[in-house]
Amino acid sequence: MHYAGAVQLAMLGERESSTARLEEAVSAYREALKKYTRERVPLNWAGTQRNLESAENTLAARKVRKP
């Protein structure tokens, strides 16, 4: 599971209160970036970077809100 799986996990993670799916999504995006390099596929790399940033931001916001 890489990019497509990461997208699905991120979507589920945004709907759930748990951070588990978002953490899985971040990991999957990082794995996808090993394949989608800036040199080989710059547009895919950029999109994956953007989605990784979004998942990381959502994850960080959730962790800050937890008591």
pLDDT in tens, the chain (67 residues): 688 999 999 999 999 989 999 999 999 999 999 999 999 999 999 999 999 999 999 999 998 886 6
* Predicted local confidence at residue 58, as pLDDT: 96
What's the longest Cα–Cα distance across the chain?
43
* Predicted local confidence at residue 7, as pLDDT: 94
* Residues, the chain: 67
* Predicted local confidence at residue 30, as pLDDT: 97
Distances (CA, A) of 31 to 27, 35, 38, 65, 67: 6, 7, 14, 28, 31
Single pTM value for the model: 0.89
* Predicted local confidence at residue 65, as pLDDT: 80
Report the alpha-carbon distance of residue 8 to residue 2 in Å, rounded.
10
